[in-house]
Amino acid sequence: MSVNVTGLRAEAAGKTLVDDVGFTLDAGRILAIVGASGSGKTTIGSALLGAVQRGVTATGTVEVAGVDVLHCAPSEVPASHLPQHPAAVLNPVRRIGGVLADIADVRRETARTEARPPGPATAARIADAMRRVGLDDPAYLRRFPHQLSGGQQQRLVLAQAFLCEAKLLVADEPTTGQDLDNRDRIAAELRLAAANGLAVVLLSHDLDLVEAVADDMLVLDAGRVVERGPAARVLTEPEHDYTRRLLAARTAEPAPAGGAEAPIRIAGRGLTVLAGRRTRVLDGVDFQARQGECLAILGASGSGKTTLARTIAGLQQATAGELLLDGEPLPVRGRRRTRAERARVQYVFQDARASFDEHRTILATVTRSAVRLRGLPPGQARAEAERVLHEVGLTAETANRRRDELSGGQLQRAALARALAAEPEVLVCDEITSGLDALTRKGVLDLLAALKGRGGMTILLITHEPFVAERLADRVLRIEDGHAVMEN
C-alpha cells in the first residue's frame, strides 16, 4: 500500500497555493514536508485527507491505498489527521470511550458486509489501541477530552487512527505549541505510528523533529517542491538555496556576552504570588540581573515564568516579596508605579496582536509611548517613534497600518518598538518567539542580540525553548512549579 500524489495543483481565487507537487510514500515510512507558512504544506495536508477548503480547487491525483481521496466520500478516506491542537478533533461533550466505540463499530460493520470473520470484540480492540499509545488505564474511557493534557490528547488521536485502521497519518505541526521536553515523546509517537504500518506525513517547520524521525523530506517554497530526498542527506547537504537558508536559521552564533561585572540593575527577593487561596504560582523567587546582561527565565508552560515576568513589569500583583531597581525599591503593586518607573521597566507581550489597539495605527501607538513616558512633544515623539520602528525593521509604510493588516512577526517587532520607545532600562520579553517559524524567529533574535547591552539595557528573556536561551542569555534562571531552581 502506498500514497501516490501526482501533479497536485491547488488554486484559490486566482492564487496558486500548490504548484505541481508529487511524491510517493510507502507504508511504515515517514515523510516530512518542510516549509514556512504560506508554502502550501497545509493545503497538501488537507488534500491528503480528502478535504480541501471551500473556495480552493484542487486538481491532480491524490491516491491513498488505492483510494482517490479527492473524489470519494469522506467515510472512504483511509487517512487520519493529527492536528496541531489535538482538542480540535476531539468531541468536547462526549466521553472518550463512547467515541472510540463508535469508531470501532465501523470496522465491525465493514467486516460483516464483506463476510470477513469478525475480529476481536470492540472493547478488546479499544483496549488494545489505548495500550499501544500508552493510555492503559481504563479510567480514561470515562473521561472527557478536556480532562486530558495536550500530550495525552495527541496520543488519544493516535489511538483513534489505529482503531479505524487508517493507512495514512497526517501530522500537522505536532511540536509547535508544546514544550520542548515533549519533542522526544512526539517523535516516539510518530515512530510508533510508522511501526504500526501507517504511512506518516509530517508537516513541520521544526527541523529538530524532522531530523529525529523523518525518512524522507520535501522542502516547499511558495507551493513548489524545491528539494527532495532522504532526510539525512537534505539536512546535511542541502542543494537548494532556500533549504540552506532554512537550515541556517537553526544555528547562529551566540550574542556577545554582557556585563559580567556591571552593577546589578534589577533584583527581586521572595516574590510570591498566590492564585486563589492555596495555589502558589510563584513561591519565594529570588533573582537578579546586571546592567547590559541578558537573563533567560526558562521553564515549561505553567511553571510560573510568565507570572514572574508580569510581576516584574507591574502587571501582576505579588502577594509578598520586593523588587529593587538600581538598589531603590520598585513598587510591587503595579498600580503604585509612577510613569517614570513604568518607563524604566518595559514589557513585550507574547500575544502582540492582542496588545495593540485595533483602531489606531502602529505608529500612533508607538508614538504614545514616547509622549507619555518620555514627555516628548508630539512632533518629536513621532520622529522618535519612526526611528525606533525603523530600527526594528518596519518601514514607515507598514507603521502606518493598523494591527489587523500586519503579520505576526511584524506585530512582534512593533511590540518591541513600543517598548523601546520608552527607552527602558529593563526589557522583559515574554515568549516573544513562540509560535513563530524558524526564519522569523531568527529575525527577532538577531534584533534582540543587536539591542543587548546597548546603553546598558538589561533583557529578561522568558522562554521555554533552551535554544533561544543558549543564543542570547548570559545567565539562565530555571523556574519549575513556582520555584526558582538553578542559575548558571
Partner 1 sequence: MSPEPDLPESGRRGLDPDDLSHPPGTLDTRGAHNATHPTPGATSPRKRRTVLAPLVSGALESRHTRPSDRRNSLPERIALAALLALPLGIALVGPFLPVPERDRTQPFDPAAPWPGTDYLGTSVLNGVLDGGWGIVVTAAAATASAFLVGLPIGLIAAATRRRWIDELLMRPFDLLLALPSLLLMLLLASIAPPTAWMLVLIVALVNLPDIARIVRAAALETAHGPAVEAMWLQGESWWRTSIGHIARSILPTVAADAGVRLVGAFYLVAAASFLGVGAGPEASDWAVMVDVNRGGIFLSPWGVVLPAALLVALAVGLNLLFDRLLARKAAA
Partner 2 sequence: MLAYAAKRIGLGAVQVLAVAVLAFALVELLPGDAAVALAGDQPDPDNIERIREQMHLDEPALARLGDWLAGIATGDFGASLVSGRPVAGLLVTALEPTLILAGLTLILLLPLSIGLGVAAARRRGRWPDRLITTFTVGLYSVPEFALAVLLVSVFAIGLAWLPPTAVGVPSLLSEPAVLVLPLLVLLARPICSIARLVRAGMIEALDSEYVAHVRRAGVSERRVVLAHALPNAVTPATAQIARTADWLLGGVIVVESVFVIPGLGTALVDAVNARDLPVVQGIAVAFGATTVLVNLAADLVAFRLAPRLEVAR
- The binding site for partner 2 (CB under 8 A) comprises 49-51, 74-77, 79-81, 83, 88-94, 98-99, 102-103, 105-107, 110, 144, 146, 160, 163-164, 166
Q: Cβ distance 34 to 73 under 8 Å?
A: no
Closer residue to partner 1, CB minimum distance, 291 or 440: 440
Closer residue to partner 1, CB minimum distance, 33 or 477: 33
Question: Which of 104, 198, 298, 422: binder of partner 1 (CB under 8 A)?
Answer: 422
Least CB distance to partner 2 at residue 14 (A): 25
Least CB distance to partner 1 at residue 118 (A): 34
Residue 435's CB is within 10 A of a number of other CB atoms, namely 16
45 binds partner 1 (CB under 8 A): yes
41 binds partner 1 (CB under 8 A): yes
**Among the candidate windows 38-46, 128-136, 154-162, 377-385, which touches partner 1 by CB under 8 A?**
38-46
Question: Which of 28, 38, 134, 456: binder of partner 1 (CB under 8 A)?
Answer: 38
The footprint of partner 1 on residues 264-303 (CB under 8 A) is 301
55 binds partner 1 (CB under 8 A): yes
Helical H runs in 114-240? 122-133, 150-163, 182-195, 207-213, 231-236
- Pick from partner 2, partner 1, none: which does 242 bind, CB < 5 to 8 A by kind? none
Question: Which of 228, 344, 418, 475: binder of partner 1 (CB under 8 A)?
Answer: 418
Q: Cβ distance 111 to 119 under 8 Å?
A: yes
Question: Which of 1, 101, 192, 315: binder of partner 1 (CB under 8 A)?
Answer: 315
Q: Report how far residue 485's alpha carbon sits from residue 303's, in angstroms, rounded to the nearest whole number.
A: 11
The footprint of partner 1 on residues 62-81 (CB under 8 A) is 81
Residue 316's CB is within 10 A of a number of other CB atoms, namely 19
Least CB distance to partner 2 at residue 302 (A): 17
399 binds partner 1 (CB under 8 A): no
Residues contacting 420, CB < 8 A, separation 6+: 346, 388, 391, 392, 427, 451
Q: Pairing relation of β-strands 79-82 and 67-68?
A: unpaired
Question: Which of 6, 7, 71, 88: binder of partner 1 (CB under 8 A)?
Answer: 88
Question: Which of 73, 74, 75, 92: binder of partner 1 (CB under 8 A)?
Answer: 92
180 binds partner 1 (CB under 8 A): no
- Pick from partner 2, partner 1, none: which does 380 bind, CB < 5 to 8 A by kind? none
Q: What share of the chain is helix, strand, coil (3-state, %, to 5)?
A: 40, 25, 30
- Pick from partner 2, partner 1, none: which does 40 bind, CB < 5 to 8 A by kind? partner 1
Q: What are phi and psi of 440, to 5 degrees?
A: -65, -40
136 by Cβ neighbours in 10 Å (0-12 / 13-18 / 19+) ranks as exposed
Largest CA distance in the chain: 84
Q: Cβ distance 111 to 118 under 8 Å?
A: yes
Residues contacting 394, CB < 8 A, separation 6+: 362, 410, 413, 414, 417
408 binds partner 1 (CB under 8 A): yes
- Pick from partner 1, partner 2, none: which does 112 bind, CB < 5 to 8 A by kind? none
Q: Report how far residue 9's alpha carbon sits from residue 234's, in angstroms, rounded to the nearest whole number.
A: 24
